[in-house]
């Protein structure tokens, strides 16, 4: 069996049955504001603290804004030390190459491979896949391109989180069939309160906790508890 990679995110390894598997790819799903970006970035920060270099690929937000919006942990330090590399597929001011227009999944796979090779990257986050998925209007070439990306990352031993918004025509479920595991983040609203949760929806190769577990976001980052997210309801 694959070796395990402890995410280091408090509580996450427990519901995964011992952490992610090395070199596999996982989907992170959830609505706007559900905590997908924070959980994924903390996955990189905890890796960096452990000597595993991370790559954060964003399709839209500039890396500088990302850092300002996550004033948790020592994210800026990780970036300054080169322990986390950020890469935006969005053209920057002064960027002549009009990069985004031409980026498809094949180009992205090529680019990420370049980063992974040259920087010894071990953890990858892709926030989000939707802008790329939306370039395809049928399932077949999309499945192939995603498989190529996943296969490349696996061949380099990169453990990867794909943030999946599911806002386009290709359904969220279709992507969940293709990844090795899937974690859903959400909110439950009762008459009394609104509680965040994390739930492992799929995890190949191991038994895992199937329940929704209450999750909190504070200025220290993510904390997944071992409690059900229903309080007195």
Residues lying near a copy of itself in the complex (CB under 8 A) are found at 1-2, 21, 31-33, 37, 59-60, 62, 65, 68-71, 90, 93, 100-101, 128, 130-131, 134-135, 138-140, 143-144, 147, 151, 154-155, 165, 167-168, 171, 173-174, 176-178, 180-182, 187, 189, 191-194, 196, 200-205, 207, 210-212, 217-219, 228, 230
Helix H or strand E segment including 216: strand 212-218
User: Shortest Cβ distance from residue 217 to a copy of itself (Å)?
Assistant: 6
| CA 16 distance to own-chain centroid | 15
The residue among 7 and 37 lying less far from a copy of itself, judged by its C-beta, is 37
The residue among 53 and 153 lying less far from a copy of itself, judged by its C-beta, is 153
Residue 122, token pair as written in the block: 């071990």
Of 94, 62, 64, 95, the residue nearest 79 (C-alpha): 64
The residue among 10 and 168 lying less far from a copy of itself, judged by its C-beta, is 168
70-88 burial: b if 16+ Cβ within 10 Å, else e: bebbebeebbeeebbbbeb
The residue among 9 and 142 lying less far from a copy of itself, judged by its C-beta, is 142
Contact 217, 70 (CB under 8 A): no
């Amino acid at each position: 069996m694959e070796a395990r990679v402890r995410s280091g995110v408090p509580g996450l390894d427990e519901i995964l049955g011992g952490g992610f598997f090395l070199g596999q790819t996982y989907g992170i799903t959830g609505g706007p504001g559900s905590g997908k970006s924070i959980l994924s970035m903390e996955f990189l920060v905890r890796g960096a603290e452990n000597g595993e270099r991370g790559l954060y690929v964003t399709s839209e937000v500039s890396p500088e804004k990302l850092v300002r919006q996550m004033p948790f942990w020592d994210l800026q330090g990780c970036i300054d030390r080169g322990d986390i590399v950020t890469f935006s597929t969005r053209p920057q001011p002064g960027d002549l190459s009009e990069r985004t227009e031409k980026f498809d999944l094949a180009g992205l796979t090529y680019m990420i491979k370049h980063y992974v090779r040259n920087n010894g990257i071990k953890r990858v986050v892709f926030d989000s896949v939707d802008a790329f998925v939306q370039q395809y209007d049928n399932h077949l070439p999309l499945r192939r391109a995603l498989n190529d990306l996943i296969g490349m990352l696996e061949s380099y031993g990169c453990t990867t989180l794909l943030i999946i918004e599911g806002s386009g025509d290709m359904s969220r479920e279709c992507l969940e069939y293709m990844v090795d595991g899937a974690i859903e983040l959400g909110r439950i609203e009762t008459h009394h309160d609104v509680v965040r949760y994390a739930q492992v929806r799929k995890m190949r190769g191991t038994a895992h906790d199937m329940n929704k577990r209450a999750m909190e976001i504070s200025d220290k980052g993510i904390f997944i508890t071992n409690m059900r997210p229903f309080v007195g309801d």
